[in-house]
A and B are shown apart, each in its own frame.
Chain A
Amino acid sequence: MPALPAPTQEQAAHFDYLEGLRGYNYTVHVKGILDAYERETATGRPEPATMDEAGAIIAPSHLYRFAAATQHQAQKMGWAAARRSLEGHTNRLAEVLERMPVEPRGRLVLDPALELPGYYTERDSEGLDDIHLVPGGYWGDPLVGPVYERGGALYRMAWRTGYTGSPPGALVAFAEGAPPGDCRRILDLGCSFGGLTMALRQAYPEATEVVGIDISGAALRWAHLTAEERGLAIAFEQRDATATGYPDGSFDLIAGFLLLHELRAETLDAVMAEAYRLLRPGGHIRFLDMPPYAELPPERAFLQSFDCEGNGEAFWNEFLSRDFKAVLRDSGFVNVGDGPLDYDEPSYWGTAALLRTGEFRLENRWVNAADKPAV
Chain B
Amino acid sequence: MSSPPDPSAEVAADPPTRGYHAFEDPVHDRLLGVILALGAEVWNLRERLGLLESALARQGVDVSALIEELALDPERAASMTADRDAFLARFLRAISAD
Contact = CB atoms under 8 A, between A and B. Distances in A.
Interface of A: 9-10, 13-14, 16-18, 20-21, 49-52, 64-66, 68-70, 72-74, 76-77, 123-124, 127-129, 292-295, 301, 305, 308-310, 312-314, 317-318, 320-323, 325, 337-339
Interface of B: 1-6, 8-23, 28-29, 32-33, 36-37, 39-40, 43-44, 47-48, 51
A246 to B, nearest CB: 30
23 contacts: A13-B40, A13-B48, A14-B40, A49-B8, A50-B8, A65-B23, A69-B21, A69-B28, A69-B29, A72-B20, A73-B32, A77-B36, A128-B17, A129-B19, A294-B4, A308-B16, A310-B22, A312-B16, A313-B16, A317-B16, A321-B9, A321-B10, A321-B12
Contacts of B20: 72, 129, 309-310
Contacts of A305: 12
Contact of A69 (B2, B23, B37): B23
B74 to A, nearest CB: 34
Contacts of B8: 49-52
B40 A77 contact: yes
A129 B2 contact: no
B18 A124 contact: yes
Given A50-B6, A66-B22, A73-B29, 9 more contacts: A50-B11, A70-B32, A73-B33, A127-B17, A127-B18, A129-B16, A293-B12, A295-B2, A309-B20
A-B CB proximity, top 8 nearest: A69-B22, A50-B8, A68-B22, A294-B5, A293-B9, A13-B44, A294-B6, A321-B9
Contacts of A72: 20, 22, 29
B5 A323 contact: yes
B42 to A, nearest CB: 9
A301 B3 CA distance: 15
Contact of A338 (B1, B17, B39): B1
B16 to A, nearest CB: 4
A79 to B, nearest CB: 14
Contacts of A129: 16, 18-20
Contacts of A123: 18
B60 to A, nearest CB: 22
Contacts of A310: 20, 22
Nearest to B11: A52
A52 B6 CA distance: 11
B26 to A, nearest CB: 10
A16 B18 CA distance: 28
B9 A13 contact: no
Contacts of B2: 292, 294-295, 325, 338-339
Contacts of A313: 16
Contacts of B40: 13-14, 17-18, 77
B22 A337 contact: no
